[in-house]
Amino acid sequence: MSQYNLVSTYSENNFEEEATLDVARIDGHYAFDTDHLQNLDFGLRASKRDVERETYILVAPFTTGDISADVMWKDSGASLGDTNGDGENSVAGGDLTIGKTNFFSDMPAGWVNQVNGLGPGGAGHSFYLIDPKVMDDPMAFQNAIYPGNKRLANPSRTYQVKEQTQTAYFKANFSGELGDLSYTANIGAQYIKTELDMLQNQLGSARPCSLCTASEKTGEKWLNRNYSDFLPSMNFNLNVTDNVILRAGYGKTMTTLDIGKLAGGVSVGRTRAGDVLAAELGVSPDLLVAVQGRQNGNPDLEPWRATNYNLSAEWYFNDSGLLSISAFLMDIESFVENGIVMQGLPDIDGVIRREVPVTTEINGQGGDIKGFEVVYQQAFDFLPAPFDGLGTSVNFTYAPSDSANVDVYGKSLPIQDNSEKSANAVLWYEKGPLQLRLAANYRSDRLDSLSSPMGEGVVPFWTDSTLYFDMYAGYEFAEDMSIYTSVSNLTEEKEDIYAQWSDHVITQNIFERRITFGIRTRF
């Protein structure tokens, strides 16, 4: 344990939030006595949502020699800057490092756990980790390492949003006969008006602490937006035979944005200019200059909007069997993705000298997802007992997509978080009081995010393909009462994030196997 130590003792993105949602609606239904038009559904809805979030970090005081500061990054890797460039740790001058090296061997009893075989690289190796229970009380944990922690507001992630919507809708439902064939159908539309009032914080050039992500708030302003959407839809189902159904659909959709994506502020990342950049900008080498930024909340974001088309055929080949195939097209007008924009940000003295990359969420320039899905489902009730409780459900989706983004070679990139291939397979057993289920879920590589511009485009970050297995077992030992256990991520699948090239892994998410036991009852 003496080779391990804490290097990330900080606490950020803490928040307190108040939210209210008031809704008033009226719905109506009118039945017709006709051969085709059966009834009409209609209604009005008005809602008002208020969200207020205050975000803060925890900082602790440090006093070393002539320097006194409140610091968020309190670990041994935090530096207040190089005052003479000699590379030595000293108080009077030099590369001053604050904090202390907190070796695991010096931690209080019970704080450190030894874990064997963690993840794909853990075979035959032990790792030492801080017990998460120690951090159940964040303030107590922070004070145990660095006393005197206090809350410090972070205005770049603090916001208030008021959203009002007015909605009107109708849907006409039809059924009847077309020659010798029966059908069902509906046609309708929805009108949605959205009004947004967003509090955007104005951030100053100075920070209320050293080595932290907070900035001084110098003011605030309310931003107002409103937009309207008209969303028609149509669906038609034709019973070709008693066992075959053809379905067709069309519709426009709009997905409301998460409140946290709309408001906040811009945080500025700064570092010591150094000799080369100082000469280029004409400033002192010790000046903290802006090198990057993060815009937390983009008030100009448009919601997801798409026009959807689908066509499918379903064959119910027996009482418990289904085979279907469907084709679909999603013409996406706007979507939200992570991106980088160049923006002028102030150096520590408040002067904007150059544009730097700012990470934020932006609207993609449209794209489409098209493809097909095949579904097979059947209960094997024709098998002799006890195997007549077996059954399966399998589906496969092929959904390539295109967007306006290109990678470093100029190749078109897909829409973020969309896998070209995905599949699910479930084998179940249900007979009497016993239920068993084994499920497999597969996703091919998907675009995670976009990084810095390079070559003809940007460096894309990809999530490698994954295959997860889950299990479930339940037993009903009395009427309306059963016991069950479930196992998620049975094989402890990991998730690799790579940049452009599959062997250039930059992040690895290791997910544990989770086992749950429970009792379920109904009253």
Q: Average of pLDDT values for 479-491?
A: 92
Q: Which of 128, 90, 126 is nearest to 106 (CA)?
A: 128
Decide if 44 contacts 167 (C-beta within 8 A): yes
β-strand partners of 299: none
Report the C-alpha gap between 188 and 169 in whole angstroms.
7
The CA dihedral of 26, 27, 32, 37, to the nearest 10 degrees, is 130
pTM of the entire predicted model: 0.74
What's the confidence (pLDDT) of residue 168? 98
Cα–Cα separations (whole angstroms), residue 83 to 65, 186, 274: 14, 73, 10
Q: Is the pLDDT reported for residue 81 higher than 50?
A: no
Q: Average of pLDDT values for 153-158?
A: 87
Whole-number average pLDDT of the chain:
86
> What pLDDT band is residue 39 in, cutting at 50, 70 and 90?
very high
Look at the chain and count its residues.
523
> pLDDT (tens digit, 9 = 90+) per residue, 114-137?
887 666 666 667 788 888 899 889
Token pair of 384 as six digits: 């002799």
The CA dihedral of 239, 240, 241, 244, to the nearest 10 degrees, is -80
Q: Average of pLDDT values for 371-378?
A: 97
Please name the residues in contact with 390: beta carbons below 8 A apart, sequence gap of 6 or more.
379, 380, 383, 427, 428, 429
Report the C-alpha gap between 4 and 131 in whole angstroms.
14
Token pair of 249 as six digits: 């659909």
> What pLDDT band is residue 65 in, cutting at 50, 70 and 90?
low
